[in-house]
Amino acid sequence: MLRAVIAVVACAQVAVAFNVGGSLPSLGLRHASASSILTQGRQRKTLTLANNKRAAQSLQSAAADSATTVAREAKKGRGQLRARPIGVGHAAPEVSISNADMEKIVETTGEWIQSRTGIENRHVLRGKETLRDLAIKAGKAAIKDAGINAEDIDLVIVATSSPDDMFGDAPSVATGVGASKNAFAFDLTAACSGFLFATVTASQFLNNGGHTTALVVGADALTRWVDWTDRNTCVLFGDGAGAMVLTSTEATEEGGILGFEMHSDGAGYCNLQLPYEQSDRAVGPEHSVIEGKYTPIGMNGKEVYKFATREVPEVIEEALANAGLTTDDVDHLLLHQANIRIMEIVAQRLGIPMEKVIHNLEEYGNTSAASIPLALAEAVRSGRIKKGDVIACAGFGAGLSWGSTIMRWG
């Protein structure tokens, strides 16, 4: 809505400038003196500047009116929740594959990868390492950072699309971090939006008063599912895990989840998928059953790019409206770490300078559900994010799914 208002006012400003400065007086110009022409030119210039100034003021006023309208349209139940983030941690495999290494694996160059994605390196599981190990390590780091006992945790959500066990990793992760048997745990699958969706889900449990402390983990190992001969996808993904501890609060005003918004659109499923490929298997002389396997990740990069740059700014604005805030209130912009170009476009469309954008995809690549908490953990550990800072987060990816949370840290 705001961008539409800006576009209309900007067009009006251009029209005013053209009509005033571009048209000539219809009477007496042919015989006018040089001094009169100069005087008329000055008058037109002064009038143009005055109109430009008024147009700029109208633009500011329209933007303010639009922001107020958006705030009035905040959706009920999607504002501040009684849940506060208090600790964060991360983990990544020791082995990494650099862009120089990728040149030996697939036909590409490091410069091509870096210039188009911003990625320079990615960490990968190998040998006996498991995703569950990474998730537990990240969870323990988050619990330590929060300064709580693991027994205090009564909810664990693991967001992943690549679990070690198809039945789910969350119960094993809960046990691995030392959570008591009173805690309940489950997996949540929403691909690259998973951590954000899991954060909102956990916050709802804390907000309703039934639970007090939650551990939310984002963990993925999508290098298990890439086609290493496809240079358009294999260069993008890495493995990792990130985790965050949230605690319930007595009053809504104390909550750190200030607002949120989430969407999905299955019509875009074909643009980013990891599908099951099935076949028939004979069982006895009269019957057959379905069996098969998952195929490598398939992605239409152009369409995913268009989707992300179109929808992510919108959903962040929606979440800000639900929080009763504007982009001026944002201290940090933290997006799913997919592509630096997407981050630049989203920041530009929101009017947020790149200095406020948190990114570490150059080191880790796209770690799917792990990317937001992994980047968050490094920013908190380095001191870049401080207690009280407002962070606008957005996840987006397969499904297609996308969403945003506005979070006050600590």
Q: What is the pLDDT of residue 252?
A: 84
Both tokens assigned to 298? 């398939």
Among residues 121, 336, 359, 393, the one annotated as catalytic is: 336
Catalytic hit among 51, 121, 123, 192: 192
Q: What Å distances lie between residue 39 and 33, 36, 44, 46, 52, CA to CA?
A: 10, 5, 9, 11, 20
| Token pair of 60 as six digits | 């500011």
**Residue bearing the bigger pLDDT, 348 or 33:** 348
pLDDT at 134 over 90: yes
Instruction: Answer whether 0.85 is exceeded by the pTM.
Output: no
pLDDT band at residue 253 under the 50/70/90 scheme: confident
Average pLDDT score over residue span 344-371 = 97
- Calculate the average pLDDT of the chain: 86
Whole-number Å distance between alpha carbons of 250 and 255: 9
Number of other CB atoms surrounding residue 47 within 10 Å: 14
CATH, range 83-266+298-408: 3.40.47.10
366 is an active site residue: yes
Return the pLDDT at 72: 40
Q: Is 263 one of the annotated active-site residues of the chain?
A: no
Which residue of the set 322, 360, 366, 393 is catalytic? 366
CA–CA gap between residue 362 and residue 236 (Å, rounded): 10
- Domain residue spans of the chain: 2-72, 83-266+298-408
| pLDDT on residue 162 | 96
In this structure, are residues 313 and 349 in contact, taking their beta carbons and an 8 Å threshold? yes
The per-residue pLDDT for range 294-335, each reduced to its tens digit, is: 999 999 999 999 999 999 999 999 999 999 999 999 999 999
Distance CA 106, CA 371 (A): 24
Active-site residue, 336 included: yes
Looking at residue 251, its pLDDT comes to 87
